[in-house]
Structure 1
Amino acid sequence: MGAVYIHIPFCKQACYYCDFHFSTSLTRKDEMIAAICQEIELRKSELNNTIIETIYFGGGTPSILSINEINKIIDVVYQRHSVVSSPEITLEANPDDLSNEKIIELSESKINRLSIGIQSFFEQDLQLMNRAHNSDEAKKCLEIATHYFKNISIDLIYGIPDCNNKQWIENIETALSFGIPHISSYALTVEPKTALASFIQKGIIKNVDDEKAQEQFYILKDILKKHDFVHYETSNFGKEGFFSKNNSGYWQGKSYLGIGPSAHSFDGNQRSWNVRNNTKYIKAIQENSLPIEREILSITDKYNEYIMTGLRTIWGVSVDKITQDFGEKYASYLAMQSQKYLDDELLIFENGILKTTAKGQFLSDGIASDLFMLNLV
């Protein structure tokens, strides 16, 4: 099974923390949609007739598109690929785009999963991040969306300056009050060259507090566990039957085709990525040329990626898979590097699977990087 990811590179305004590729100018939106459809055509054979299980609209802000524009792109995917009878088709959306009319239109399309960028239900947090919506819009869109969609995920951000633990708990409880079956939650991260980084450097906004972020991460874990959410990936919590099939495919090494400027693709052996520039992307596609860079993954690259993704999930890292796919040297190296984390109870080894403990989960990326193979030993 495979996946198609569609990157929609437009937003109404720039969130201060965001370093994804987007433009706040919609002047070339029609050309972009035509180029995205053409890229799907140009790359129709890349997944070697892999059956598509998920289609994911990310960005940017895909909900900025009209229903006709969304349907046009979906139709081209169906025309050029074999798609399972009941695919998961996700649209990332912002609350300010989700009017009653828009939600009804989406529910009547092939879109069957919404991923809504709530981030916080507190006005001060939304203003600090320069979100385009307000708290009332966040609550109103969920009130409507839950009547038309069963499969909804929301994003929440923790570690926001001046958002204390009491407010963070209220954020979580507000989300739960809508019966949402999936929550993706991320620490506020200061990415280089973002407005947030600049404001912190100038003292306009407080710097993020890593200790507070870690504390709020564990608060989130504890509350969601009590409400029968499964913490199946470091940043993702879902009720049974509501895990993201699209993202789970990424973490389990399935092939995916990334369409649109800056989108990444993976076929098991090769990773590729499109140019991160709307004008260059459109021009190349109009000339029937693919604005892509490609990288063939070495066995060490594949090992490192498996370690990174495996430790972030409940599926962990299989030592048998390491031995079978990469060889005894890699398995021995993993055993040697992981021992200190086993001793510190940050990792656990059960039934041939290496996983992070509850204590080690927040640190999974750092642990994984220490298990990476830099050179063959």
Structure 2
Amino acid sequence: MSGIYIHIPFCKQACHYCDFHFSTSLKKRDELVNALAKELSLRKFEFKTTIVETIYFGGGTPSLLTIKELDFLIQQVYANYNVSEAPEITLEANPDDLIKAEQSVKIDSGSIFEAYKNIGINRLSIGIQSFFEDDLKLMNRAHNAKEAKACLDEATQYFDNISIDLIYGIPGLSNQQWQQNIDLALSFGIPHISSYALTVEPKTALESFIKKGIIANVDDDLAHEQFHILVDALEAHDFVHYELSNFGKHEFFSKNNSAYWQGKPYLGIGPSAHSFVRNERSWNVRNNSKYITAIEAGTCPKETEILSVTDSYNEYIMTGLRTVWGVSLVKVETQYGLEYKKYLLKQSQTFINQQLLYIEDEKLLVTKKGKFLCDGIASQLFKINEH
């Protein structure tokens, strides 16, 4: 199994917390779409013997692209790769784009959601973030609370496989309001929720506003509380907490993201997109103009690193601990060596004693108490060097 991620680096406006690569200018949109298609062709040799099971449009804001543009890119994947009979094809979308497109399309007696399904998209990932107006304004989201609800009203009539994003730990968001956000999301029957603590990334507008005292700083203790409110609420509604930030009903886990966490190969297409094939990790230049120029000249503007055994081990620990599948002690021994297994067991003992980790069926897993801390725990299990 493998996946293709296509990065659409355009947004109508910049969210205050975001440090992803995007541009609010759509001037080079046509050139960029053509460059994405050409990169798909240039890199097909990397997946010569691999079956593509997931196609994921991320961003940025992929819902800014037209049906024709999205269909063109999907067809380019089919033209250049061996695609499975029933691939998961996901489109990240903003509520305002979907509502406005739906209103426009309905004038011509159709539905934007039907149009997406007709070109093969079978999963939507909608950036709701919050159902409260104050939160959306603080984050500088392009949609409002009314559009968030209207979008889900429409989308759920056409799609069964929908994921939404929600953010907790927002300054001013009380636990009661957070519970209301969760309850409202559940009322739509959504089968998958991705939820993240608001993080203050360097050089973002959010960081600047906090430094100037315009916005209160993020409260880690409050975020911790809201994380556990989320876990309890979703598990009570039969969601599986299958990855630190992801909750899904059975049969609705993200196949694309699950492949990342399980170390399966994927190609990242577009400016700033990352790829992982065998023991090689690469990432494209984080600049639209440089990306387009290089692709038009027939070269892939990417940097590459070959993962050492230790690098690979560390990545497996980081991704494995975040998931319900945990870290296989058998895999650690067979793939990295007995020395690594002994090291892992030794480093883990303190966390096992603290009831943050446990071992079951030859797998190292995070307890419910340890979940919110798992990235920090993982870093303590890393090997620093080869010897």
- For Structure 1 versus Structure 2, the TM-score category normalised by the shorter chain is over 0.9
Query: Residue 48 of structure 1: CA displacement?
Result: 3.0
- Matched with 1:64 is 64
Q: Pick one of 194, 199, 205 that aligns with 2:209.
A: 199
Q: 1:159 aligns with which of 169, 181, 199?
A: 169
Residues paired across the two proteins, number: 377
CA deviation vs aligned residue, 1:67-103 (integer Å, no higher than 9, x gap): 0000000000000001111100000000001032322
**1:212 lines up with 2:215 in the alignment:** no
Q: Report which stretch shifted further, 96-105 or 202-211.
A: 96-105
Contact persistence 1:155–1:185 (CA under 8 A): yes
Match of 1:124 in 2: 134
Look up the match of 1:230. 240
Tell me the equivalent position of 1:114. 124
2:181 aligned partner, one-letter code = N
Is the counterpart of residue 262 in structure 1 residue 278 in structure 2? no
- Please report how far the alpha carbon of residue 49 of structure 1 lies from its aligned counterpart in structure 2 after TM superposition: 2.2
Structure-2 residue corresponding to 1:145: 155
Sequence identity (%): 66
- Secondary structure of the 2:193 match is strand
Which residues of structure 1 form unaligned runs of 5+?
none
Check if 1:42 corresponds to 2:77: no
SS of 2:20's partner is coil
CA RMSD of aligned residues (A): 0.7
* Cα distance in 1, alignment partners of residues 358 and 278 from structure 2: 28
Counterpart-to-counterpart distance in 1, 2:117 and 2:60: 21
Is contact 1:9-1:21 (8 Å) kept? yes
The residue correspondences of 1:185-334 to structure 2 (distance < 5 A) are: 185-334=195-344
Give the match's secondary structure for 2:44. Answer: coil
For 1:49-75, what per-residue CA distance to the aligned partner results, in whole angstroms no more than 9, with x for missing partners?
200000000000000000000000000
In structure 1, distance between residues paired with 2:335 and 2:89: 32
Q: What letter corresponds to residue 245 of structure 1 in structure 2?
A: K
Q: Please give the secondary structure, in 2, of the residue aligned with 1:111.
A: coil
Tell me if the contact between 2:47 and 2:81 (Cα under 8 Å) persists in the aligned partners.
Answer: no
Deviations 1:36-56 (A, max 9, x none): 000001001112320000000
**Separation in structure 2 between the aligned mates of residue 107 and residue 147 of structure 1, nearest angstrom:** 12
| Structure 1 counterpart of 2:95, one-letter code | P
Gaps of 5+ in 2: 106-111
Q: Name the amino acid aligned to 1:189.
A: T
Residue 92 of structure 2 corresponds to which residue in structure 1?
Answer: 92
2:45 aligned counterpart, secondary structure: coil
| Alpha carbons 2:35, 2:292 under 8 Å: kept | yes
- 1:308-329 deviations in Å (ceiling 9; x for gaps): 0000000000111100000011
Q: Secondary structure in 1 aligned to 2:46?
A: coil
TM-score (normalised: structure 2)? 0.97
Residue 331 of structure 1 deviates from its aligned partner by: 0.6
CA distance in structure 1 between the partners assigned to 2:278 and 2:62 by the alignment: 27
**Deviation at residue 133 of structure 1 after TM alignment:** 0.1
Q: Is the 8 A contact 1:49 1:81 kept in 2?
A: no
Letter in 2 for 1:125: D
Question: Matched residues in 2 for 1:340 and 1:363: separation?
Answer: 14
Cα distance, 1:285–1:376 mapped onto 2, change above 3 Å: closer
Q: Output one character per residue of 1:130-184: Cα deviation in whole Å (capped at 9) or x when no partner.
A: 0000000000000000000010000000000000000000000000000000000
Letter in 2 for 1:72: F
Shift of 1:108: 2.2
User: Do the aligned residues in 1 keep the contact of 2:48 with 2:81 (CA within 8 Å)?
Assistant: no
| Paired amino acid for 1:344 | Q
Q: 2:290 is paired with a residue of what secondary structure?
A: helix
Structure-2 separation of matches of 1:174 and 1:168: 10
Distance 1:205 1:24 in 2: 24
CA contact (8 A) 1:253 1:268 kept: no
Task: Tell me how far apart the structure 2 counterparts of residues 78 and 121 of structure 1 sit (CA, whole Å).
Answer: 37
SS in 2 for 1:45: helix
By how many angstroms is 1:109 displaced? Answer: 1.9
Give the match for residue 342 of structure 1.
352
How far apart, CA to CA, are the structure 2 residues paired with 1:329 and 1:49? 33
Counterpart-to-counterpart distance in 2, 1:143 and 1:109: 22
Any idea what the Cα deviations from partners look like across 1:210-266, whole Å, max 9, x if unmatched? 000010000000000110000000000000000000000000010000000000000
Tell me, in whole angstroms, the C-alpha distance in 1 between the residues paired with 2:153 and 2:382.
Answer: 45
SS in 2 for 1:24: coil
Give 4+ residue runs of structure 1 displaced > 2 Å after superposition.
99-104
Judge conservation of contact 1:306–1:317 (CA < 8 Å) in 2.
yes
Q: CA deviation at 1:104?
A: 2.9
Contact 2:328 2:364 in 1 (8 A): yes
- TM-aligned CA deviation for residue 289 of structure 1: 1.1
Task: Provide the residue aligned with 2:3 in structure 1.
Answer: 3
